[in-house]
Structure 1
Amino acid sequence: MFDEVAPGYDRTNAVLSMGNAALWRIATTRAVDPRPGQRILDVAAGTGTSSASLAKSGAAVVAADFSPGMIEVGRRRQAHVPNLTFTEADATDLPFGDDEFDAVTISFGLRNVVRPEAALAEFFRVTKPGGRVVVCEFSTPATAIVRTGYDVYQRFAMPALVKLSSSNDTAYDYLNESIREWPAQPELARWIRSAGFERVAYRNLTGGIVALHRGFVPAA
């Protein structure tokens, strides 16, 4: 499914988010706080748009995704970014050693993992002591009025927009289903704590339609 939507993935995301995808990317990059000399892992990186944003800092960024189609498009589109590399990887079985990265991040990909708690455990394993994890994911709107409006958007507006912007609108039926089934902010925070991270916190973006979670590996 992801291989099929890869060519138009970024365009469709921009349309469906009504431009908010760029703002969410900025917030995520600031939360990761990449710096020159650091090594950052971006999981479920897709075409590498978020990875390229992280790499602007001068950090060495590894964009990992399980979809060969996404990786192929990403390598082509981000070929001008010298400190960005792509690798095919399973989030629940990362091909990296322990304590390799200063930070691990995943944007809108954790809910696509069959065993998200196993993925969080892998993120903990490959992150250095004192390092951080940042998870940006669709979530539960904080107020009833936003929840109602978002539900109407998902049911009626989103399918129409997908037909206009994507070559595979059926694949995006999965998007709505996965968002509805995804746990609310406190539950995801509990999963992150259970993986071993400390100082876990989250903040809502766009009224809680998206939430940004962050946690730290205990320092040695």
Structure 2
Amino acid sequence: MDVKEKHKWYNVRWFKRMAPVYDYIEFLVSSLRKKVANKIKDKNSKILDLACGTGNQSIAFAKRGFSVVGIDLSPDMLRYANKKIKSSYKLKFIYGDATKIDYKNSTFDASSISFGLHDMPEEIGLMILKEMIRTTKKNGQIIIVDYHKPRNKMIAWIGFRIAKLWESKYYDHFMNVGLERYLKAVNLKPLNKETHLLGNMQIVECKNIK
């Protein structure tokens, strides 16, 4: 099955429209980028950043001196990501299918995906997590950043209504079943979970036990 057939769900036009304005709403999650990058301790780490979009998480990794590969399915998003690369960064962006990564097993010391799983069918998300497991070294870090449902019902309702202004139809499913279901399906066990922005966002850190 080719990329276009596999990713019929992918709204190319939506990402093309969002690419020029995406960074204007980045302020909502910019505080999380550095927190995620700081979780990688070994300065010599090679990191895979999937669904990298306009590259903000990849850039946060690169600023700390890591060698980074960012992969995304939107050429328009990547066009903006590439504009941010500095000569001092060990960073490259690749247009590619995150469900079938063109890297060998155990290539990376750590991998991440930020605000991607909620934006796709569950079966595609599971395929991506499996590729993260395959391409990340044993005992390496796998970090997932995404939406989270706060315990406070009022805050949860407000967060949900705001997100619905721009999120896809897959957002509802992700919020209903929770990230925990995805992780359990691929045998990833969280080592650490943090919630941020009044509980509306989460950073989940897993150890790749293979």
TM-score tier by shorter-chain length is 0.7 to 0.9
2:21: which partner in 1? 8
Checking the alignment, whether the CA contact within 8 Å between 1:200 and 1:214 is kept in structure 2 is: yes
Distance 1:45 1:198 in 2: 23
Q: Is the 8 A contact 2:52 2:113 kept in 1?
A: yes
Structure 2: tracts of 5 or more residues without a match: 1-13
C-alpha offsets along residues 85-135 of structure 1, whole Å, 9 cap, x if unaligned?
111121211111110111110111122233111111111000001101100
Per the TM alignment, residue 199 of structure 1 is displaced from its structure 2 partner at its CA by: 4.5
Pairing 1:93–2:103 present: no
Q: TM-score, normalised by structure 1?
A: 0.79
Secondary structure of the 1:45 match is: coil
Aligned: 1:78 with 2:91: no
Q: d(CA) in 1 for partners of 2:185 and 2:130?
A: 8
Query: Which of 149, 152, 158 does residue 158 from structure 2 map onto?
Result: 149
Match of 1:214 among 199, 205, 208: 205
1:193–1:142 distance in 2 versus 1, CA, 3 Å? same
Counterpart of 1:207, as a letter, is L
- CA contact 1:91–1:113 (8 Å) conserved in 2: no
Alpha-carbon distance in 2 for matches of 1:216, 1:8: 34
- Superposition CA RMSD, Å: 2.2
CA deviation vs aligned residue, 1:177-199 (integer Å, no higher than 9, x gap): 44333136x84224224323345
* Paired residues of 2:114 and 2:146 also in contact (CA < 8 A): yes
The gaps in structure 1 that reach 5 residues or longer are: 160-171
Change (3 A) 1:190 1:133: same
- State which of 125, 135, 145 in structure 2 corresponds to 1:136: 145
Letter of the 1:44 counterpart: A
Q: Deviations over 1:69-93 (max 9, x none)?
A: 1111111222444301111121211
Q: CA, structure 1 residues 191+200, in 2 after alignment: closer, same or farther (shift >3 Å)?
A: farther
Separation in structure 2 between the aligned mates of residue 200 and residue 36 of structure 1, nearest angstrom: 21
Alignment-derived partner of residue 194 in structure 1: 185
1:85, 1:154 → 2: CA distance?
30
Task: Return closer, same or farther for 1:4/1:148 CA change in 2, 3 Å cut-off.
Answer: closer
Residue matched to 2:3: none
Q: Which amino acid aligns with 2:131?
A: E
Q: Tell me: higher relative CO, structure 1 or 2? Use CA pairs within 8 A at least 6 residues apart.
A: 1
Higher helix share: 1
2:33 corresponding residue in structure 1: 25
